[in-house]
Amino acid sequence: MTSFRIHSAEFLKCCGTVEQFPKSQLPEIAMVGRSNVGKSSAINCLLNRNGLAKVGKIPGKTQTINFYRVETNQGPFELVDLPGYGFAKVPDRIQKQWVPLIEQFFQTRDNLRGVVLLVDVRRVQEQDRRMLQWLEHLHIPYVVVATKADKVARGKQPAAIQDLQENLDIPIPPLLLSAHSGDGKQLVLDEILSLLGTRTSRR
Ligand SMILES: Nc1nc2c(ncn2[C@@H]2O[C@H](COP(=O)(O)OP(=O)(O)O)[C@@H](O)[C@H]2O)c(=O)[nH]1
Ligand SMILES: [Mg+2]
């Protein structure tokens, strides 16, 4: 099997409401995780595009979903950057937009093939477990990716992965990714490819 290769990626749309979501027919993969988990950095790393997603950006006045169109050696797909959860400095009014917006995304995107759930390699939090339970409840296929792998010494990574797996109570160990070094990138891309090939059990 040839491995998954990204040819190019472009920003499509930034949406704050369900009406704005693109009407595309492409298969979709969404990325979600806590604010500051390294989601924008992971997107830039996976798509070979520094600066495509804004790193270190504090959520603004509204919660928004960013859509990217990606060309690959296996055809095009859409990568979707969902707003991060659990940002302490964001006012309640804005945090309250998060659940309905994500809910509408999950309910309306018939082409959603799966979700990449990002967690910090050093700690899993209650909100991560809740996100995982939500995905399971909705029967949305997912992969868990532990970010900032470079923050844990190589010798300690197997134990960190095992901790995360137990903590999240998931059948498959999470993948490790360092957006800074690129370590783990191809494995994550290959998991995205297999999600793209998944026939979901959703109606
Ligand atoms: N050491 C390390 N830091 C990272 C990595 N990925 C992201 N960061 C840092 O974590 C912070 C948040 O990153 P960002 O991508 O904006 O996270 P987001 O809020 O989830 O989109 C920034 O200071 C990044 O430089 C990584 O792989 N390794
Ligand atoms: Mg971000």
| Averaged pLDDT of the chain | 93
Q: Are the C-beta atoms of residues 82 and 65 closer than 8 Å to each other?
A: yes
Residues 6 or more apart from 64 whose CB is under 8 A from it? 14, 15, 16, 83
Q: Inform me whether the pLDDT recorded for 199 exceeds 90.
A: no
Confidence of residue 203 (pLDDT cuts 50, 70, 90): very low
**pLDDT category, 1, cuts 50, 70, 90?**
low
Check residue 136 and give its pLDDT.
97
Q: How far is the CA of 54 from the centre of ligand 2 (A)?
A: 6
Asked whether residue 139 carries a pLDDT value surpassing 80, the answer given is: yes
Main-chain dihedrals φ then ψ at residue 10, nearest 5 degrees? -140, 145
Query: How many angstroms separate the most distant Cα atoms in the chain?
Result: 48
* Per-residue pLDDT at 109: 97
Mean local confidence (pLDDT), 166-174: 97
Expressed in angstroms and rounded, the spacing between residue 196 Cα and the centre of ligand 1 is 25
Ligand 1, pocket residues at CB < 6 Å? 33, 35-41, 55-56, 84, 147-148, 150-151, 178-180
pLDDT tens-digit map of 180-196: 999 999 999 999 999 99
Q: Whose CA is nearest to atom 5 of ligand 1?
A: 148
Higher pLDDT, 63 or 184: 184
- SS3 of the chain: helix, strand, coil, percent, to 5: 35, 25, 40
CATH 3.40.50.2300 assigned to 6-196? no
112-120: strand order across its sheet? 6-15, 65-72, 77-81, 28-33, 112-120, 142-147, 175-176
Of 39, 41, 121, 152, the one to substitute when testing ligand 1's pocket (max ligand atoms within 8 A of C-beta) is 41
Nearest to 74 by CA among 113, 106, 105, 41: 113
Give the Cβ contact number of residue 95 at 10 Å: 16
Q: Tens digits of per-residue pLDDT, 87-111?
A: 777 788 888 889 999 999 999 999 9
pLDDT at 201: 46
